[in-house]
A and B are shown apart, each in its own frame.
Chain A
Amino acid sequence: MSDSVDTVLSPSRSARWMKPDRIKELTLVGIITASVLVFSLLIDNYLSGRFFNRITTSVVIVAILAAAQTLVLITRNIDLSVGSIVGVAAYLTGDFLGANNWAGPLIAVLVAMLIGAVLGSFNGVLVAYGRVPAIIVTLGTLALFRTMLSLYAGGQNITADSLPDWVLDLNRVTVVSIGGLDLRLVFLIAILVFVVLQWALARLRSGRRLYAIGSNPEAAKQAGLPEQRLVFWAFVGSGALAGLAGFMFLARIGTISATAGAGLELESVAAAVVGGVSIFGGSGTMVGALLGATLIETLELSLVRVPQVSEFWRDALLGILILAGVLLDFTLHKRLGRRLTAAARTDAGGSPPTTIGARRRAGKGSSDA
């Protein structure tokens, strides 16, 4: 008992606050656990190995797209063209594999990612160097890439039998199997991608600078950060990841039409935002994006098995989740800011600001300045 009194009286520094990103991630883990528990009560045989395998294989594409989106969102931009890039990369890679049967998986992945990177660099040039708002640029390229694909495809589909056998088998390759839980290769690749990206964003200098740019572009400029170059590369990265997702799309579906991947851009934004990535830039993690994608995928696949919920409501749920995610981000940020301010003020042991200070803050925009 006396111990706890002691900690209350002299809280250690780290106990006084928690990184906003950690709070978001833990909240998501809680929500995912809670929804799995609820579904397991509603659905017979819900907690089975088969269901785990289904979720882990189907989450891969959305998760990688969420990673792509996160890279761009952090810099206070958005990439709405990822769905179209998935389509282009899937189709062209399928085309390439049909014509070059000798090519192995590694080459196929590189081709897909290169296609994505080229398309992403187009976005990047316009946003970073052309100073056109990202939402306009990528809304344009969303349509542009899709149209170019339609022209190229000319009504022809990539069919499963034109592809080498290994492509379609890829999705079922299991690396390890523990009990009924299979860890599939595609899932492990996605995890690897996330580990690398999470590390890069946390530890690479340029990773931290992406956050800085999104957090306060004006200050980033003043600090002399190479903001144009970094935003450009964020879009290239986003494109390359969308290309990777395109390859996985090809491996999963096999038959690719010119409309392949349409609508995935919205799911990628949803997963990232639900995962705590701020659309105002500067905050959010790859782990969060992965959790967001997992939550969305779990809900979608589980709700199908609840007969009382119609398809109509399943779509609405996605929308509600996005709104809830944005709202949570907003309130959390505001309340956290206030709490930290209060903490900082008592720390300083200083007097509260005088009326002059209060006036400056309250009268922002209405003062003589």
Chain B
Amino acid sequence: MYDIILPIRFFLRRRITILAVLAVALCVFTVVVVMTVMNGLVSDFTDKNHAFFSDGIVWTDSLVGFGLYEEFISRLEKTDFVACAAPVINTFGLVESESSGKNAALDLMGMDIARQIKTTDFADTLYYRKDTPILAFNPIYDVNLAGCIIGVDLLVERLKSGQYRQLSFLPMWSYLITCFPLTPKGALAKTGTALTANSGTFYYSDNSNSGLAKIDSTVVYLPFDSLQSLCGMDIGAKRTNAIFVKFKKGFDINVCTDKVSRLWQDFIKENGDFALANLFGTVRVADWKTYRRETIAPMEKEQTMMILLFALVGLITVFIIFVIFYMIISRKSRDIGILKSLGVSKTGIVRVFLRLALLIGICGAAVGIAAALVFLLNINRLEGWLFDKFGFQIWNREIYAIGEIPHQTRPVLLAIVAACAVAACLLGALLPTLGSAGRKCVDILRVNQL
């Protein structure tokens, strides 16, 4: 019974235990806040990539592309696991604003908007045509003009608050877009001895905010057929250089990607006599995550680094608890001597102090988690206030493509952090307790008597 009453009394009546609780709470608070924000940023980034690039991609890095894509898409759509697929052209070109005269070499993405909005969440990235995405390439001011969608960061000013200064009306801006068409053999198309450059005028029909900074600041979207023609992918046979594939709900992406890969292998075998069959060799099939590995991997590495860093924070917690318990037990050594003189065993004494550590761990974790939840709940409000008052921002929204700071805490994370905090307390308390409990009580009492 003493091993229940004493830990409670030590906990309630010793100020040093408040220090221990605060130390644990502080560590738990830091770990929960940073892990939540970091996990949130990574999952937000990966979710946006997934939404933009669909589930699986059949693609080639070659600007020449590959043919028979419509045949392969129809084969894919006949399977039981593919919901839909869309051809996409990724290339580059010169974009000149006809109103300002400014020009730049930018990435161009050609998409069949009807199929694209079924296959990806592209519709959600639009501003003016969010409700009628099918008309995204038809400018509101004249639906008969050829439209282009511009990456939001290329065109729209981003305020320090992270909001975009969107115009309430769609301005009639035109862009001259020039591409250098390639023959199926990969050579620049020529007319006589002069190189051919295809140009077309497109009117600003919308802007796209995918939340992926690199894409929003470098990509101009054009109708699939128009871009195909501009970059010569209709010479010889119609070509594309990517197919985005959306799998049906409930199907595993990795399994489906393997199936698509096998289908592709069968497809190129069957079409070995196709005139441009040599272009099939560069085509690869991957899930969205593998396709975007170069972009996602650094963030995931950063996340792993964070986890390692916070494992170090955990070790520091153990050390802090160890020091605090060393102090508590140094002060309590006389009590240990008294308990031993009353016949309390070594395990009984260890039990008293481990229960004290358990109380400190539980209370510290509870206080830390509660404080972290309150902080996270108000993190955006707090950042807003700091910004309004002092102009300080944790992430400069002009640089980082994030809206709100992520603050959704996962219960699993809370449970793991709380369990680690309690385990750290028990571990930190165990060594000094074992050391003191193992001493002869007469030695302890003699020292305290002097």
A and B part of one assembly: no
Q: Which residues of B pack against A, CB within 8 Å?
A: none
